[in-house]
């Protein structure tokens, strides 16, 4: 699901908040009162080597271009 959120973004990059927003908008489960799923997203982003953390300024530059 995280990869789907990233692939759906125009530049194929997302902030954590954008991933949350994508999941919240696409899947009813993520709209409920349970918020533990956010910990799962963060956990998977940090442990899975397929996801790369970029410096915040790189994400800011992409939004202005």
Q: How far apart are CA 61 and CA 57, in angstroms?
A: 6
pLDDT string in tens for the chain (65-residue length): 999 999 999 999 999 999 999 999 999 999 999 999 999 999 999 999 999 998 988 766 655 55
For residue 19, the domain's CATH number is 1.10.10.10
Class of residue 14 by CB neighbours under 10 A (exposed 0-12, middle 13-18, buried 19+)? buried
Residue range of the domain that includes 59: 2-64
Q: Which tokens hold the place of 60?
A: 């800011």
Total domain count for the chain? 1
């Amino acid at each position: 699901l995280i990869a789907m959120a990233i692939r759906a973004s125009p530049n194929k990059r997302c902030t954590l908040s954008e991933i949350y927003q994508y999941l919240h908008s696409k899947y009813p489960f993520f709209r409920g009162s349970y918020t533990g799923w956010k910990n799962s997203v963060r956990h998977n982003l940090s442990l899975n080597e397929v996801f790369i953390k970029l410096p915040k300024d790189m994400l800011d530059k992409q939004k202005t271009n």
